[in-house]
Amino acid sequence: MPDARREVWREGLGVAIATSAYGISFGALAVASGLDVWQTCVLSLLMFTGGSQFAFVGVLAAGGVSALPSAVASAGLLGVRNLAYGMRMSPIIGRGFRRRAAAAHFTIDESTAVAVSQDDPRLARLGFWVTGVGIFLGWNLTTLTGALLGDILDQVGGPRAWGLDAAAAAAFLALLWPRLKKRQAIVVGIAAAVVAALLTPALMPGLPVLVAAVVAIVVGWFDWFDGRVTPEGRAS
């Protein structure tokens, strides 16, 4: 068991370090979108769900204050997945209001993934807390670093001149790519991307993402294209 615990610690901390690195990009982009350093840090402290945070500042940067409702809606829509994670993690976390309340804030993609990959419930619980708390601390430190860096970059061309704006898209692609193992998932991704691209010139910022999400839900609900893609690229 000691060796297994050390392995869980290594796995959790490894995921925390890798994930926290994205916080630098988020902090810089948030400042570039119009938030100040303190607002950016508070967003990471309270929201603490990377994809939703990137969606929020991305829509805000594109449309300004007028796009705030769409930014909130986009972030909220991405955050709904944490409800499913919470139900999955409930038996692992155990009973107790304080424990569950604390766990709710750390229930994210990475902490859930590390937890459910363990066979022993005690190791699953350890993996959840190590990963969740590790990412929370690292994410907020790198958010502050990125926000301060964003202020400096504003004087020399802004974050986009240094390519930091591409990190948000890279993060989403990194999450999406491992899931593209079935034809259904590929079709859902392509349909949502096409709809968002076509509607972007016509609708206010944020709305194309919401419409694309609805399309993804509709297409994904019906398993019209069932089948797994083989390593050679053929559908089975």
Residues in CB range of 8: below 8 A, 6 or more apart: 114, 118, 123, 126, 127, 130
The count of other CB atoms within 10 Å of the CB of residue 29 is 27
Taking the C-alpha atoms of residue 27 and residue 227, their distance in angstroms, rounded to an integer, is: 40
SS (H, E, C) 175-190: HHHHHCCEHHHHHHHH
Is the pLDDT at 36 greater than 50, yes or no?
yes
> How far does Cα 102 stand from its chain's mean position?
19
CA distances from residue 160 to 120, 146, 153 in whole angstroms, order as listed? 45, 13, 9
DSSP 3-state assignment of 110?
helix
Top mean pLDDT of 150-154, 160-164, 171-175, 190-194 is at: 190-194
- pLDDT range class, residue 73, cuts 50, 70, 90: low
Tell me the whole-structure pTM to 2 decimals: 0.69
As a whole number, the mean pLDDT across the chain is 76
The per-residue pLDDT for range 79-108, each reduced to its tens digit, is 666 777 888 888 888 888 888 888 988 998
Higher model confidence: residue 33 or residue 8? 8
Taking the C-alpha atoms of residue 40 and residue 53, their distance in angstroms, rounded to an integer, is: 10
Taking the C-alpha atoms of residue 8 and residue 120, their distance in angstroms, rounded to an integer, is: 11
Taking the chain, what is the end-to-end CA distance rounded to the nearest angstrom?
Answer: 40
* Start-end of H helices in the chain: 2-20, 22-32, 37-46, 50-63, 68-79, 81-93, 97-106, 109-116, 121-153, 166-176, 183-199, 207-221
Per-residue pLDDT, 123:
92
Per-residue pLDDT, 132:
93
The per-residue pLDDT for range 187-203, each reduced to its tens digit, is 777 777 788 778 777 76
- What is the mean pLDDT of the segment spanning 182-186? 73
Per-residue pLDDT, 232:
46
Higher model confidence: residue 13 or residue 158? 13
For the ranges 16-20, 55-59, 157-161, the lowest mean pLDDT is seen at: 157-161
CA distances from residue 23 to 47, 95, 102, 137 in whole angstroms, order as listed? 13, 32, 21, 11
Is the pLDDT at 167 greater than 60, yes or no?
no
Contact call for residues 150 and 29 (beta carbons, < 8 A): yes
- pLDDT range class, residue 174, cuts 50, 70, 90: low
Taking the C-alpha atoms of residue 82 and residue 100, their distance in angstroms, rounded to an integer, is: 14
Is the pLDDT at 173 greater than 80, yes or no?
no
